[in-house]
Amino acid sequence: MENIVIYGAGGFAREVAHLIEQINAVDQKWNILGFIDDDPNKTGIMVNDWPILGTFEWFNDNPNANVVLATGSPKGKQLIVNRLQAFSDLKFPNLFHPSLKMSRFNQLGIGNVICEGSILTTNITVGNFVTINLNCTIGHDVEIQDFATILPSSSVSGNVVIEEGVDLGTSSSIIPHKRIGSWTIVGAGSVVVKDLPENCTAVGIPAKPIKYHE
């Protein structure tokens, strides 16, 4: 078994720990050392069965660790990755739930987390540090760029492009051949029927931008 640490100690971090346990039930792959949290006051606290090992500085003594990012926030993931670039020997494995159904013709980068019940059909490209949460469906020829997060029960139809840092809300849907601009937030339950620009928040059926942000 290889040691792994979970960056984050909140609710999704506990879900990632559970995901790793489910992977281990099929293939004894990972030994969870614990969590990393940037609040120094939390060091030593137990989260379920594992300790909070320390803050970012823990990597000074463990520069070769396997790390999984356990935050759903695209900007949070980007911030953590930028900080961890100081440690060039860290490894960022992909973690896939054993129930995942996925074609061998898909291409995936590093540091991706795909949760229980999701389906990725064929000829899909997934970048780095993408989170695909519970029971999502991703259709053929979809491109999902770095740091994107797709929250539970979302449906992405074929030939969609989800640009860097998109945050796709729970139970949202995208019809075929649409593009969502970088760092855009799509509200829960929204249906995307037209391309969305970058750096906006879009909600509704059909989804429309309601505000723009940096």
Q: Which of 84, 109, 129 is the last residue of a domain?
A: 84
Q: Which of 39, 57, 84 is the last residue of a domain?
A: 84
Residue whose token pair is 């019940």:
117
% the chain with pLDDT above 70? 100
Listing from the earlier edge strand, what are the strands of the sheet with 191-192? 101-102, 119-120, 137-138, 155-156, 173-174, 191-192
Do 195 and 105 share a domain, yes or no? yes
Question: Per-residue pLDDT tens for 89-103?
Answer: 999 999 999 999 999
> Is there a domain that residue 213 lies in?
no
What pLDDT score does 72 carry?
85
Q: Which H or E run contains 46?
A: strand 46-47
> Is there a domain that residue 207 lies in?
no
- CATH number of the domain at 183, please: 2.160.10.10
Do 101 and 194 share a domain, yes or no? yes
Q: Which of 57, 84, 111 is the last residue of a domain?
A: 84
Q: Which H or E run contains 26?
A: helix 11-26
> What DSSP state is assigned to residue 77?
H
With 90 as the cut, is the pLDDT of residue 214 above it?
no
Total structural domains within the chain: 2
Of 170, 167, 161, nearest to 141 (Cα)?
A: 161
Using omega within 30 degrees of 0 as the cis cutoff, is the peptide bond preceding 176 cis?
no
- Residue 51 and residue 74: Cα distance in Å, rounded? 25
Do 63 and 137 share a domain, yes or no? no
Region 187-206 average pLDDT? 98
Q: Are strands 208-212 and 200-203 parallel, antiparallel or unpaired?
A: antiparallel
**Which residue range(s) make up the domain with 61?**
2-84
> Is there a domain that residue 180 lies in?
yes
Find out whether 102 and 120 touch, Cβ atoms under 8 Å: yes
Region 121-126 average pLDDT? 98
Task: Identify residue 62 by its one-letter amino acid code.
Answer: N
Region 20-39 average pLDDT? 96
With 90 as the cut, is the pLDDT of residue 135 above it?
yes
What pLDDT score does 191 carry?
98
